[in-house]
Structure 1
């Protein structure tokens, strides 16, 4: 035991130093920790982007109106979504109740429940990079690939 711990002031000073040091975590450690945390869903199926109306030829109906349709597929599940200016509207096919989460690289930003026919709405509409995580409870979770809104 250090000599300066003979007084409360010495012990409190060392504890204060330890707590201040805890707050000064290097950014590279934070980034590595967040990357490691993503492995907790390593057993989730990845739903690949199968269709994107933004890729439709200019002047076609799919490329107008400020709405964008995306279709993701994984195994036996299709996740169809429409991005509107204020919401993400979606449906699961085949229909099933599920928990649906809207994720950004820094974590979950919104969640909702899909009803028994698979419909769900997430507000506000995603901005930037996002993915969806679907938990049906009857199989592995499904995560869409990262997509830019």
Structure 2
């Protein structure tokens, strides 16, 4: 290795250590970035956030109130109700048009739920933090953007 390359690597190491001390990466940020990259590389259609009750009720939300979200893609709409109690989340969802599907929750603790023939699904003990849903329908996969609870 050339002296100049050695000096550059040494400088990079020093800068990296300084950044870790003075501007540390927030807890969970690296895992969220890894999860986001994994989602980006999937062959999934991204459902667009069409409604978020958190944006509509700023200043009105109180503890224990549910957050309502609607995601839309051309073939399917995903409606969610998310509440937090005792430090964990609870999710109730519905697919429109109604249809069975495998619902994968990607986040700190991955979960798999099943939507019944009416498109309904629910899950408990969701860890707080960022997650996304991936709905595996018979003909395609639809993913939501990241949600934080």
Normalising to structure 1: TM-score of the pair?
Answer: 0.65
Alignment of 1:91 with 2:94, yes or no, is yes
Deviations 1:73-119 (A, max 9, x none): 11121000000224100000000000001101x6x611111000000
Runs of 4+ in 1 over 2 A off after TM superposition: 30-40, 57-60
**CA RMSD of superposed structures (Å):** 2.7
Contact 1:103 1:110 in 2 (8 A): yes
Deviations 1:120-144 (A, max 9, x none): 0022134111100000122x20000
The higher radius of gyration belongs to 1
Q: 1:69 to 1:39 in 2, by over 3 A?
A: closer
Normalising to structure 2: TM-score of the pair?
Answer: 0.65
Greater strand fraction, Structure 1 or Structure 2:
2
Structure 2 regions of 5+ residues with no counterpart? 1-29
Structure 1 regions of 5+ residues with no counterpart? 1-29
Q: 1:70 to 1:127 in 2, by over 3 A?
A: same
1:78 aligned partner: 77
Deviations 1:45-90 (A, max 9, x none): 0011110000113466xx4552100101111210000002241000
How many residues are paired up?
A: 114
